[in-house]
Each structure stands twice: as C-alpha cells, then as structure tokens.
C-alpha cells in the first residue's frame, strides 16, 4: 500500500517541533500506565451514574477497546507499513526520544493505523456519550486529551499523520457501532441517571 509523500512531509514538520524539555513529558503522555488513574476514575463514575447498569457500561467499553485494538493489530500485520522510527531513509531527519536509561523509544515495527489514536478516540467518545448531559466540559476535555496523546505519537517519531487519522476513524467507528448495539440489546440506557436496572 502506497502512502502520499505529503504524509511524510507533514510528519517531519510536526516531529521537528521538538524541545529537549518536552521529550520526557511526551514519553509520559504516551505511556498507557500514565492513564490508569483516569480509567479507574471513569469506572467509578460509570457505576456512580448507572448503578447496576454500570456492568453493561463496563462491558460496552471493554468490547469497544477490544475490537478497536484487535482491528488495529490486524491492519498493521496486513499493511505492514514501517514506523518512521524504523525507516532508514528518515534516520537522519527525525527526532527520536531516549528514556532515562538511554533506550531510544521506537515503538513496534509497524505503524498503520495508530492503536493509541484509535483507542483514545474510542474511549473519549464513549465518555462523551455516557456523560454528555451531566458534564458539558467533558467534550472539549476528551477531545483535547485524545489530540494530545495522538500528537505524542508524532512527536516521538513513531507514527505518520495518516496513521493517526485512520486510527481516530477506526476508534470512532467501533465505539459508535458497539455503543448502539449494546444499548439496543441490553438494559444499559445512557438516558437514565438512576441506578435501577
């Protein structure tokens, strides 16, 4: 599969907007473990809002992340687009970041699509759908979080813009489909605030 040169050009532009003081910051931002408290808080508020129906909410988001993640892995193995961090032609042009032990962060072998972008977009949309009536600030906050984490992939030199865009589309697709299906097939109803099943 051929990708347009403009994709590489845009990647090089954003990857070139780096500063030594931000390297460690984006390594933390891109680390999945950093966001464990956010996921725990989300589960807490799901059960606080939905009561027993919180189990359906938890099942829904679990299915969303499972389908999103596995479809990303399937596409990566099928398309086999090397990450910029694994592309010899870009070795002298890109900014890569080393951790505190001196190990350069390069990610896995393949880049298309971005699993980070897909999963964060899916999770952000899920939270927006669940809490949009009670937390109006959640929409801009969730979008900003997804954008920041996605940008970290460009900054660290492990994804191209098309990887990010297609990751977003994939995550939003699975969230929309599975959220709708689970709501239709179960008594998980996001329009109800009470904890009755």
- Per-residue pLDDT tens over the stretch 52-100: 888 888 999 999 999 999 999 999 999 999 999 999 999 889 999 998 7
Residues 6 or more apart in contact with residue 47 via CB below 8 angstroms: 54, 57
How much of the chain exceeds pLDDT 70, in percent? 93
User: What residue has token string 């904890």?
Assistant: 195
- Identify the pLDDT of residue 136: 76
Task: Identify the CA nearest to 144 among candidates 157, 155, 160, 128.
Answer: 128
For residues 21-45, average pLDDT: 93
The pLDDT of residue 190: 58
Question: pTM for the whole thing?
Answer: 0.89
What is the per-residue burial (b if ≥16 Cβ within 10 Å, else e) of 171-185? bbbbbeebbeebbee
- Under the banding of pLDDT at 50, 70 and 90, the label for residue 189 is low
Integer angstrom CA distances of residue 74 from 30, 77, 167: 22, 5, 13
CATH numeric code, 5-185: 1.20.144
Q: Give the model confidence (pLDDT) of 155-176 as tens digits.
A: 999 999 999 999 999 999 999 9
Q: Which residues pair with 97 in a beta bridge?
A: 105
Among 29-43, 65-79, 122-136, 153-167, name the one with the lowest average pLDDT.
Answer: 122-136
Output the pLDDT for position 182. 85
pLDDT of residue 166: 97
Asked whether residue 45 carries a pLDDT value surpassing 80, the answer given is yes
pLDDT classification of 196: cutoffs 50, 70, 90: very low
Q: Rounded to an integer, what is the distance from CA 15 to the centroid of its chain? A: 18
Question: pLDDT grade, residue 12 (50/70/90)?
Answer: very high
Res 40: pLDDT: 94
Q: Is the dihedral of CA 6, 11, 12, 16 positive or negative?
A: positive
């Amino acid at each position: 599969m051929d990708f347009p040169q403009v994709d590489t050009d845009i990647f090089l532009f954003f990857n070139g907007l780096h500063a030594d003081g931000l390297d460690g910051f984006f390594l933390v931002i891109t680390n999945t473990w950093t966001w464990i408290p956010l996921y725990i808080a989300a589960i807490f508020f799901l059960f606080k809002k939905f009561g027993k129906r919180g189990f359906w909410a938890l099942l829904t988001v679990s299915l969303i992340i499972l389908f999103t993640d596995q479809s990303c892995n399937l596409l990566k193995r099928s398309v086999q687009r090397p990450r910029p961090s694994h592309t010899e032609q870009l070795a002298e042009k890109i900014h890569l970041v080393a951790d505190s032990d001196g190990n350069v962060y390069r990610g896995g072998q393949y880049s298309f699509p971005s699993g980070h972008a897909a999963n964060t977009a899916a999770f952000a949309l899920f939270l927006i759908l669940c809490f949009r009536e009670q937390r109006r600030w959640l929409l801009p906050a969730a979008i900003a979080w997804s954008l920041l984490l996605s940008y970290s992939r460009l900054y660290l030199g492990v994804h191209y813009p098309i990887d990010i865009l297609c990751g977003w589309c994939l995550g939003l697709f699975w969230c929309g489909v599975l959220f709708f299906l689970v709501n239709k097939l179960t008594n998980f109803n996001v329009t109800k605030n009470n904890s009755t099943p």
